[in-house]
Amino acid sequence: MRYGIFSDVHSNLEAFTVVFDYYKKENIDKFIFLGDIVGYGADPNRVISLLRELGPVCLGGNHDWAAIAKFDIDYFNRCAKEALLWTQKKLKMEDIKYLETFKLVYNEGRFICVHGSPHEPEKFHYVFDVNDARLNFSFFDTRICFLGHSHVCEVYSLRDGQIRRSKDYSFEILPQEKYIINVGSVGQPRDRDWRACVCIYDSDKDVVTFKRLEYNVKEAANKILSAGLPSILAKRLYAGY
Ligand code: ZN
């Protein structure tokens, strides 16, 4: 099976369109979206339509859940909150109904998926470092956990009690290791690379590959400004932070 796994689109239609076109050429058998289709960006309705067209298994991110009042908006900083209140006004009933179907945890058998962390997934904790990874390794039984939320593409592997952190863009899953794989963000990367990040997991070869894709960042940023959203949300797209 070839899995297309991606996260954190954040209403960035320009980035998601490029990702959509890329995946369509990659013979993907199953798509899994790890959450946060909305929030921050200016195109909530159109990214939701595109997501429905792709038809992935969908996990709910903190922004998705807050947008439909399933999660406390006070969790967020001022800019995120402002964008969420704006998003709530834009969502149509069909969008809300779709977001309501998003799950918290998905188990594919050989791997699990969450938005933030396998430890208390409903609280959307982050996996930022080796200590966070260590805690979370004891909260899943499969070999791999795919997640997003921090918008930083990286991998933690556990072997004989030791955790290794890596930024490799292609690697083999080794039977003697356990993995936490952060697939980065499509629509608002924060690892100092502005390009959209996507992941493909080939379960026959047991190989994970990340890819960065250029998109029209100027268009996405200008839409944020035109919508009257906080200008920092436009600015950060250029630098990827
Ligand atoms: Zn996010």
Quick one: pLDDT at residue 98? Answer: 98
Residue 106: strand pairing partners: 113
- Name the burial class of residue 212, with classes exposed (0-12), middle (13-18) and buried (19+) by CB atoms within 10 angstroms of its CB: middle
Burial class (CB in 10 A: 0-12, 13-18, 19+), 204: exposed
pLDDT at 154: 98
Give the pLDDT of residue 52.
98
The pTM assigned to this predicted structure is 0.97
- What is the Å distance from ligand 1's center to 36 Cα? 5
Per-residue pLDDT of the chain (241 residues; tens, 9 = 90+): 999 999 999 999 999 999 999 999 999 999 999 999 999 999 999 999 999 999 999 999 999 999 999 999 999 999 999 999 999 999 999 999 999 999 999 999 999 999 999 999 999 999 999 999 999 999 999 999 999 999 999 999 999 999 999 999 999 999 999 999 999 999 999 999 999 999 999 999 999 999 999 999 999 999 999 999 999 999 999 999 9
> What's the confidence (pLDDT) of residue 4?
98
Span from the CA of 61 to the centroid of ligand 1 (angstroms) = 7
Half-sphere exposure of 125 (CA within 13 A, CB side): 14
Ligand 1 centroid vs 205 CA: distance in angstroms?
29
Quote the ligand 1 centre to 44 CA distance (angstroms): 14
How many angstroms does the Cα of residue 171 sit away from the middle of ligand 1? 25
Q: Are 150 and 191 in contact (CB under 8 A)?
A: no
Output the CA 144–ligand 1 centroid distance in Å: 21
Per-residue pLDDT, 208: 98
* Predicted local distance difference test score (pLDDT) of residue 69: 94
User: Cα of 8 to ligand 1 centre, how many Å?
Assistant: 5
Ligand 1 center to residue 126 CA distance, Å? 10
Domains and CATH numbers, the chain: 2-239 (3.60.21.10)
Distance 189 CA to ligand 1 centre (A): 9
Q: What's the token pair of residue 76?
A: 């967020």
Q: Report phi then psi at 32, rounded to 5.
A: -130, 125
